[in-house]
A and B are shown apart, each in its own frame.
Chain A
């Protein structure tokens, strides 16, 4: 009897604790979003794994076995995902038992693991910051992909046509890439400011056009690499490549100077919004265009400036991708950075360090997805699903607040002001 009652009180305590935990805050919402995403992805695993499906067909005869098999399959996949994304526990134990440079390199792991995660995340951090600038001023630049390519393309032209030492060439590449991205975005900005064309459409369309022009660009004689039929560009000369930071530990660790640039960008954007005059004015325009205009801010100029800044960051991301990772341009240059960056900015709630963390999460999903594939035959695109669900839940926090009946969720009840086409 006493045992039962203590159990009861313990469960009551747990319940009370959980109730206290149900106060809505962003960390909890993030955790719950991740939980929702993992559950959803779990269903997809069940639906696409033949052994699990057959097992579920005979669910009523082998209930325990079915559940155990499902649980094991899914948790194994997620453990692989985690180890690929963050750290491999086995390798870590080896390193602790036997500290050496080689073992450290194994832990850092060029492909999956921490090094891979950060490498994947680096351009995303910069691109996400760019979109956050746009979002903060009330503009939806969803054509980041084209701006990444545009920045990369100008950067490539500079890198292969100018012969300078690295100390001069790299800054020149950055300027060229930023100009490339900024010009493309500014085009949409000018259209928005002077004709009222909605930037969601124009940025997406310019991005598509750039996407079509890229293969053609790569066939131009001064760009194309001789002898490559699949449209690869000439390589970036060594002076124009960003140095690898960890080459002292392992020769194939690809973490480049770009990561330092990315962290610096976080600080810069942080300063921009908290302290700079321009950042304050853009925020004003974003929150209330009417009041900003009354206070003497030229809203047309603000639109162009804001989109240009966003585009410059995306171009910068393209430069980091090109000079820090790929070292040449191919027809699918830039992956899906432009689109992923939207989700990154939304998950990071447009805060610089939030964007940083969200980009790391995306990088982790990338490298974790690859690790999971090599271990379990599950497609790495499962990680994309997890990303998408987390992004959805975090950007619409009121949904999570409602599903889990969180307390005091009112401040998440509505998101940023909506707008139409006008």
Chain B
């Protein structure tokens, strides 16, 4: 009578393994397939065909020359600095520095060692990083082999945790091989592959999307679905251009423009939050209607004001900042450290929202409200206030995203310029799993396809890919993303559900 059985089953390490085992299998096989395609498709190119890869970006970001004895001096300095990054663990008399100092030491050390060595290897040519010629078929064989072997190891060893990063790496290799295949030098065409330029373009293009996705993340973490991001882009773009142009693009005006663009985004979000909280409206309907409102008003202002007063719609841009030293690192330097200010603002905003949501009291409360508002209320949290705050703060980011479309991209306002990318931003938010860094990384994926599209249109006529297909690529990727390419993603549990006080 007393043979009482065990406690209810919970998720154990064992059944977690069985869940993910299929993943390492599928991902590994995908890698093998990618490798096979690379070998069979790109590898079959005649071995005489080469591609010219341009790593140079511009003279402001070229690698500085050093005379021979300076090269030695820098190398010695680098060798001396580098151990500081590891501290006593490599050599006991070394001091244990704080983390930030160690990071700086590591960067400086690597730079100082790599710089003279790459100069000796002849990286520069005429004051610029020289171009490299690679064989298309060799690239295909090499990348294909790497991909297939790694894939086989993943399947064989059941590398579950490494499976998805390895698959992403494999996809990056595949894309690179594909680009090298497209941009080949033939007797007729000469299509160099500006690799640094494409990567720079990817980062230069994506801030507005990242900001939009951050805005969505902010408000949805608190339980309010913001589908009006598209409208906030439009409004932010219009306001930023109007303000900056009215003040003729003087230094302070650009910053004021950013501020006001953010503010108009906040106004939209306030309306949305009001509808969601006070009237318990369907947030999707309200969002769509806010977009159509912004579209109509922007079209009218575009027709009635901007077309008449051209001086109110100037092509203005925020300054570009070349980070000293760092911007001169080959490829990485120009891509990451020679960008428009808005890129740095966006990265800062991602860090800010991440810290805010996951480290602070405010963030904990906001997330609780997005998961189970009734539980938050019982511990004395004002659900509505948290939702208003998060949504409106998100609105600032979305409005800023609008400004990034104009001032961040060196363009004037044009009706329809946001091109429904506000909805893409939502997909990015989902892809980024409702996390700020996720949003940042996911937006780069879209930036990359956009940058690629721009490159293809430069090549247009010389390749066999119609531009329309490349233009459509980000949207197709979005569909793949939301239909579970990245696995089932769980949104905040109370997302989109109005809170009813008892």
Contact = CB atoms under 8 A, between A and B. Distances in A.
Do any CB atoms of chain A lie under 8 A from CB atoms of chain B in the complex? yes
Interface of A: 44, 48, 140, 142, 191, 195-198, 200-202, 204-206, 208-209, 212-213, 215-216, 339, 342-343, 346, 378-379, 381-382, 384-385, 387-389, 391-392, 395-396, 398-399, 402, 413-422
Contacts of A418: 225, 276, 280-284, 496-498
Given A200-B227, A339-B292, A385-B297, A208 B484 contact: no
A142 B496 CA distance: 18
B496 A378 contact: no
A415 B285 contact: yes
Given A385-B297, A396-B286, A421-B430, 17 more contacts: A48-B300, A201-B482, A206-B479, A212-B469, A213-B469, A215-B468, A339-B295, A343-B292, A381-B300, A392-B290, A392-B292, A395-B286, A399-B275, A415-B281, A416-B282, A419-B496, A420-B492
B300 A346 contact: no
Interface string B209-220: 000000000000
Nearest to B283: A418
Contacts of A396: 275, 279, 281, 285-286, 289
Contact of B478 (A205, A215, A395): A205
A399 B276 CA distance: 12
Nearest to A145: B420
A417 B476 contact: no
10 contacts: A196-B488, A201-B430, A208-B475, A209-B475, A213-B468, A392-B290, A392-B293, A418-B225, A418-B280, A420-B492
- Majority-rule SS of A interface residues: helix
B475 A388 contact: no
Nearest to A339: B292
B483 A195 contact: yes
A48 B308 CA distance: 10
Size range of the chain B interface in the assembly? 35 or more
Interface in B147-178: none
A223 B472 CA distance: 21
A204 B425 CA distance: 12
- Count chain A CB atoms within 10 A of each CB in B225, B304, B466 and give the residue with the most: B304
A200 to B, nearest CB: 6
A421 B495 contact: yes
A342 B482 contact: no
Interface string B473-491: 0011011001110001001
Contacts, number: 166
Contacts of A204: 420, 423
Contact of A398 (B281, B482, B494, B496): B281
Nearest to A202: B479
B303 interface: yes
Nearest to B429: A421
Contacts of A392: 289-290, 292-293
A420 B491 contact: yes
B472 A140 contact: no
A40 to B, nearest CB: 9
Contact of B479 (A205, A391, A395): A205
A387 B300 CA distance: 12
A381 B299 contact: yes
Contacts of A391: 289, 292
A195 B484 CA distance: 6
B466 A205 contact: no
B305 interface: yes
Nearest to A399: B279
Contacts of A208: 419-420, 472, 475
Contacts of A216: 466, 468-469
A227 to B, nearest CB: 21
B300 A385 contact: yes
A213 B484 contact: no
Contact of B284 (A140, A195, A202): A140
Contacts of B284: 140, 200, 418-419
A379 B495 contact: no
Nearest to B227: A200
Given A202-B482, A395-B289, A422-B491, A414 B281 contact: yes
B288 interface: yes
B354 to A, nearest CB: 21
Contacts of B488: 196
Contact of B279 (A388, A413, A416): A413
Contacts of A212: 468-469, 471-472, 475
B479 A197 contact: yes
B497 A384 contact: no
A16 to B, nearest CB: 29
A209 B281 contact: no
A224 B471 CA distance: 21
Contacts of A209: 472, 475-476
Contacts of B290: 392
A401 B300 CA distance: 28
A-B pairs, top 4 by smallest CB distance, nearest first, are A420-B496, A379-B303, A420-B495, A197-B483
